[in-house]
Structure 1
Amino acid sequence: MFKTELRKKYMQKRKALSDDEAFLLSEKIFDHFISYFKPLSKQKVHIFLPIEKFNEIDTRIFIQYFLRQEIRVFVPKVVGEELISVEIFPETEFETSSWGISEPVSYKDSGEVNFNFVITPVLYCDEKGNRVGYGKGFYDGFFLGLSEGSKKIGVNYFNPDEIIDDIWENDIALDYLVTPTEVLSFFGGEE
């Protein structure tokens, strides 16, 4: 199936979830992430803030946990055509962007490229880690600048069951996918 078709299909599937269903599934995804990756104090996590109108995974559960555990938290902010990474703290002020995304008021790019985990939104991910997002290419550009050891982890309500027919040369696959039912590794059994 082509990305445009998958994008439409999975946006509709996501919108069909009630608020309670989405929150329960988000909690299951969070539990799978914590039990599989076991993040530690002082590690660095880059994580998106959810776009509520698109019924994205509620990553605020993750962020609250990370801050309590003294795990450093960085979130994306779109500046022009680029995604920068802003470190946040319990007292960080936020505003809503023109995309409807909660973002830090600060424009200070952390310059960090060596994350332990980069938790990424996806509309769909296939069984090889290829992903479908909103089609803007922000994360492909962001992934290019990451250090080799940064684990690119997608979170999604749905497990892979379809092939993406139009993978492009510049598309960068995920390393892992966390769903409400499992954690998939795309390393062919290697860690």
Structure 2
Amino acid sequence: MLKAELRKKYMQKRKALSIDEAFSLSEKIFENFIYYFKPKEAEKVHIFIPILARKEINTQIFIHYFLKHNIRVFVPKIVADQLINIEIFADTIFETSSWGIPEPISNEDSGETFFDYIITPLLYCDDKGNRIGYGKGFYDSFFESISKKVKKIGVNYFNPDENIDDVWENDIPLDYLVTPTDVLSFSGESE
């Protein structure tokens, strides 16, 4: 199936979830992530902040856990059409962007290029790790700029059941996908 068709299909499937279902599934995804990856103190996690109105995975659950366990947290922010990485703390002040995303007020890029994990937003991921986002290409550019050793992890409510037919040569696949029921590895590595 083509990206545009899959994007539309999975936006509809996500929209059909109730708020309670989305939260419950987000909790299961979080539990699978913690159980499988076992993040440790001082590790660095890059994680998106959800647009809850679009029923994105509620990564606030992850962020609270990471901060409580002294795991360093970095979030993306789009500044001048570039994705930058900002380290956040329990007292970081946020404002809502024009896209409805809570973002740190700061525009100071951390300059960090190595993370232990990058938890990546997506609408769909196939069984080869190819992901479909909102089509802006920010994460593919971001993946190009970081260490190749970083674990790129998608989170989704749905398991892969269809191939993406129009994968582009600049698309960078994920290493893992975490769903409410599974953790899938595409990198050939196991934890």
TM range (shorter): over 0.9
Give 1:188 deviation, angstroms: 3.2
Q: Distance in 1 between matches of 2:136 and 2:163?
A: 20
Aligned equivalent of 1:45: 45
Alignment of 1:130-169 (within 5 A): 130-169=130-169
- Aligned structure 1 segments of 4 or more residues deviating by more than 4 angstroms: none
Q: State percent identity of aligned pairs.
A: 70
Give 1:52 deviation, angstroms: 1.2
Q: Distance in 2 between matches of 1:26 and 1:168?
A: 29
Aligned CA-pair RMSD = 0.9
Distance 1:189 1:143, change over 3 A: closer
Q: Distance in 2 between matches of 1:106 and 1:153?
A: 26
- How many pairs align? 191
Amino acid in the other structure paired with 2:114:
N
Q: Distance in 2 between matches of 1:150 and 1:188?
A: 14
Aligned equivalent of 2:54: 54
CA deviations 1:18-72 (Å, max 9, x no partner) are: 0100000000000000000000000000000001121000000000000000000
Aligned equivalent of 1:105: 105
Q: Distance in 2 between matches of 1:8 and 1:75?
A: 26
Amino acid in the other structure paired with 1:81:
D
Alignment of 1:6-155 (within 5 A): 6-155=6-155
Q: Distance in 2 between matches of 1:97 and 1:153?
A: 24
Aligned equivalent of 2:5: 5
Q: Distance in 1 between matches of 2:175 and 2:19?
A: 28
Aligned equivalent of 1:182: 182
Q: TM-score, normalised by structure 2?
A: 0.98
Q: Distance in 2 between matches of 1:136 and 1:18?
A: 27
Q: Distance in 2 between matches of 1:6 and 1:114?
A: 31
Amino acid in the other structure paired with 2:110:
S
CA deviations 1:108-153 (Å, max 9, x no partner) are: 0000011000000010000000000000000000011111221000
Q: Distance in 1 between matches of 2:40 and 2:190?
A: 22
Structure 1: stretches of 5+ with no match in the other structure? none
Q: TM-score, normalised by structure 1?
A: 0.98
